[in-house]
Amino acid sequence: MNQSAAATKDEPQALLGGVELERRLEELLGQDRFAPPRGFSSKESGDDASLYELADGDPNGFWADQARRLHWDVPFTTVLDDSNPPFYKWFSDGKLNVSYNCLDRHVEAGRGQRIAFHWVGEEGEERAVTYAELLSDVQRMANALKQLGVRKGDVVGIYLPMIPEVVVAMLACARIGAPHNVVFGGLAPQAVKEMEVSKAKALITVDGARRKGKTVPIKPAVDQTMGDLEALEHVVVVRHTSSRS
């Protein structure tokens, strides 16, 4: 009896909280700018007027200096190719690996235990993924794709919910030079059919996804689209919810 009464008493308060949240969200829809936290602003040099002066006075020199902070497999000699406007090209004769620059160079510099990103799941799960952990996962995924016969230039489809493996999949593809074709995980599995346009050779998907407190099976629904993907040879399944697939 007491528990029932307490629950009834709390209901108006919970409802009020929901109304307040809706009101706040409506306010944010009309807000054009979101200032960064004060602690972040104090460390950020983006408001340094001298940077703007350097960029304005010598744009090519300024952006060349910024680009040289990355690792280049083939150093660039041309900063901006503006010979065919409006189709401008930056660093067109240089070559780099995005995956290496996102991960390896930080680990090699001794920053492997620093947090690469924080992830919060649908049901409140939290993960703090370090650069070293992310590099290890990306290397495993890249090697798995290569063992399946995915080579430079082959397209890899990605149909995943917002889980850490999305980052792993994209960086693994970049690592081996395989363009990735992402179908937004919030769309119905039938949207995977769109990958036929890109002739995806492999597909990375998930057994199931958690949405609004429910587990939705994804792989069985994706299987129904396989007949429309003539170029597809392999499907890699991320075990996220232990759903049968």
When the candidates are 3.40.50.980, 3.90.78.10, 3.40.190.290, 3.30.310.10, the CATH number that belongs to 137-238 is: 3.40.50.980
pLDDT of residue 5: 38
pLDDT tens-digit profile of 117-150? 999 887 778 899 999 999 999 999 999 999 999 9
**In the chain, where the domains are located:** 50-96, 137-238
Which residue is it, tokens 């119905």?
A: 188
Question: What is the pTM for the complete model shown?
Answer: 0.76
Number of H helices, E strands in the chain: 9, 10
C-alpha to C-alpha distance for 203 and 195, rounded to whole angstroms:
9
Q: Which of 173, 224, 242, 163 is nearest to 202 (CA)?
A: 173
pLDDT of residue 55: 92
- Through-space distance between the first and last CA atoms of the chain, rounded to whole angstroms: 45
Determine the residue type at 10. D
Task: Say if residues 131 and 159 touch (Cβ distance below 8 Å).
Answer: no
pLDDT of residue 163: 93
pLDDT tens-digit profile of 54-72? 999 999 999 999 999 999 9
Collect all residues with Cβ–Cβ distance below 8 Å to 32 and sequence separation of at least 6. none
C-alpha to C-alpha distance for 127 and 114, rounded to whole angstroms:
13
pLDDT tens-digit profile of 172-208? 999 999 999 999 888 888 889 888 899 999 999 999 8
C-alpha to C-alpha distance for 169 and 160, rounded to whole angstroms:
9
- Of residues 43 and 26, more confidence is placed in 26
